[in-house]
């Protein structure tokens, strides 16, 4: 079986669902003949026709809004936004409508839409192309926010997102769209939503990260291992609703936790995870939870991008801080 990249896995999942379910339709800017600016929909219009794989006029608010109308009529719309930084005009429809339809009609109508967007920095893109604002969506009742971090998880989670009866914001870490190749069987098997994935076992410290930041996180875990420190690495994958139990189970073993994300720190998801750990597992902690995040600044132009994004060095420093707590030895 051929090995495929994350973006090819997205394409494979979309093709699988288009073939399997006539209710699935794809639309967005440049997704047709062009196959999307990242090629996530490459070849799909040719294969499934332009009624099912459609270019839209250039209006994100419109894309988000018509998806709601399609979904409440029983279709399974999958809307592509070209970049997460351009999803904001559509927020009104995602937050005020998609997220609330089931509730405001007391279950009469539901809104099974998937809003896809490439997200995150690291590809030397122009301004507004590198945003990491998943916390905006995660804050909203009624939404699911899913971030895959490997080709296999992109495939399985996207299938689950399309089949889910509720709205899902599916954020694709574009920095790792082509970073690794993996065999991903096209068997149509979905992965569970609302569940963390444990990517590495360890007993000394728990590292929680998602999306592209897992690349540096896993590398840091390997570096630590060479020093005899075993890190457990957890990928929440579904950021909302969050499976805190898996993280706490891990803390039972390690007692130490570092949360790593590219998004700005203030009111980022690291804050939520830390708060939940404090509420449920304060007694398990041997050190305060540390956060390694983007800064509370505007995402810089690309020459400063590497200074903004969490790197291995910052992760290792945070891990050392938790291991050394309290500084200087004995408590």
Q: Which residues carry out catalysis?
A: 129
Q: Which SS3 state, helix, strand or coil, does residue 261 take?
A: strand
Could you say whether residue 242 binds another protein (CB under 8 A)? yes
Could you say whether residue 241 binds another protein (CB under 8 A)? yes
| Cβ distance to another protein smaller for residue 32 or 121 | 32
| Cβ distance to another protein smaller for residue 120 or 236 | 236
> Stretches 50-58, 126-134, 199-207, 290-298: which one binds another protein (CB under 8 A)?
50-58
Closest distance to another protein from the beta carbon of 326 (Å): 32
| Cβ distance to another protein smaller for residue 165 or 326 | 165
Could you say whether residue 32 binds another protein (CB under 8 A)? no
How many residues sit in the footprint of another protein (CB under 8 A)? 48
- Binding to another protein in span 105-124, by CB under 8 A: 105-110
Q: Do residues 78 and 116 make contact, with C-beta atoms less than 8 angstroms apart?
A: yes
**One of 1, 2, 141, 327 touching another protein (CB under 8 A):** 141
Closest CA to 142 of 105, 192, 176: 105
Give CA–CA dist 237/203, Å, rounded.
21
Could you say whether residue 57 binds another protein (CB under 8 A)? yes
Residue environment code for 107-127, b if the CB has 16+ CB neighbours within 10 A, otherwise e: eeebbbbbbbbbbbbbbebee
> Stretches 180-188, 227-235, 241-249, 314-322: which one binds another protein (CB under 8 A)?
241-249
The neighbour count for residue 193, using CB atoms within 10 Å, is: 19
Closest distance to another protein from the beta carbon of 123 (Å): 29
What tokens does 92 get?
């009104």
Q: What Å distances lie between residue 73 and 49, 77, 110, 200, 249, CA to CA? A: 21, 10, 9, 42, 41
Give CA–CA dist 213/27, Å, rounded.
28
| Cβ distance to another protein smaller for residue 38 or 137 | 137
**One of 17, 204, 235, 243 touching another protein (CB under 8 A):** 243
Could you say whether residue 44 binds another protein (CB under 8 A)? no
Could you say whether residue 22 binds another protein (CB under 8 A)? yes
What tokens does 33 get?
């003949």
Q: What Å distances lie between residue 201 and 106, 209, 236, 326, CA to CA? A: 43, 14, 15, 25
First to last CA, the chain: 54
Binding mask 73-102 for another protein (x = CB under 8 A): xxx-x-----------x--xx--xx---xx
What sign for the dihedral angle of Cα 54, 60, 65, 68? positive
Closest distance to another protein from the beta carbon of 305 (Å): 32
| Cβ distance to another protein smaller for residue 34 or 203 | 34
Give CA–CA dist 212/22, Å, rounded.
32
Site for another protein, rule CB under 8 A:
22, 25, 51-52, 56-57, 59, 61-62, 65-75, 77, 89, 92-93, 96-97, 101-110, 141-142, 144, 164-166, 194, 241-245
């Amino acid at each position: 079986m051929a090995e495929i990249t994350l973006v090819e896995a997205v394409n494979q999942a979309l093709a699988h669902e288009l073939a399997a379910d006539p209710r699935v339709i794809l639309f967005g800017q440049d997704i047709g003949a062009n196959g999307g600016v990242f090629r996530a929909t490459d070849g799909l219009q040719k294969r499934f026709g332009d009624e099912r794989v459609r270019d839209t006029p250039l209006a994100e608010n419109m894309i988000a809004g018509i998806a709601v109308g399609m979904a409440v009529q029983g279709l399974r719309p999958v809307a592509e936004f070209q970049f997460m930084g351009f999803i904001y005009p559509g927020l009104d429809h995602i937050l005020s409508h998609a997220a609330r339809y089931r509730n405001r009609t007391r279950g009469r109508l539901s809104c099974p839409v998937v809003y896809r967007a490439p997200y995150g920095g690291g590809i030397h893109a122009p301004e507004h192309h590198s945003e990491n604002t998943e916390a905006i969506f995660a804050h909203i009742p009624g939404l699911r926010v899913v971030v895959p971090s490997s080709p296999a998880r992109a495939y399985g989670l996207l299938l689950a997102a399309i089949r889910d009866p509720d709205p899902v914001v599916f954020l694709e870490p574009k920095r790792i769209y082509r970073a690794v190749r993996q065999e991903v069987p096209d068997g149509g098997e979905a992965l569970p939503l609302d569940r963390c994935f444990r990517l590495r076992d360890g007993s000394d410290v728990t590292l929680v990260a998602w999306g592209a930041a897992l690349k540096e996180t896993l590398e840091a875990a390997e570096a630590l291992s060479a020093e005899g420190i075993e890190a457990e690495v957890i990928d929440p994958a579904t950021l909302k609703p969050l499976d805190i139990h898996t993280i706490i189970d891990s803390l039972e073993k390690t007692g130490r936790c570092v949360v790593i994300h590219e998004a700005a720190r203030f009111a980022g998801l690291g804050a939520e995870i830390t708060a939940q750990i404090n509420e449920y597992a304060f007694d398990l902690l041997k050190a305060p939870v540390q956060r390694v995040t983007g800064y509370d600044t505007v995402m810089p132009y690309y020459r400063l991008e590497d200074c903004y994004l969490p790197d291995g060095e910052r992760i290792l420093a945070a891990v050392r801080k938790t291991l050394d707590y309290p500084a200087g030895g004995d408590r």
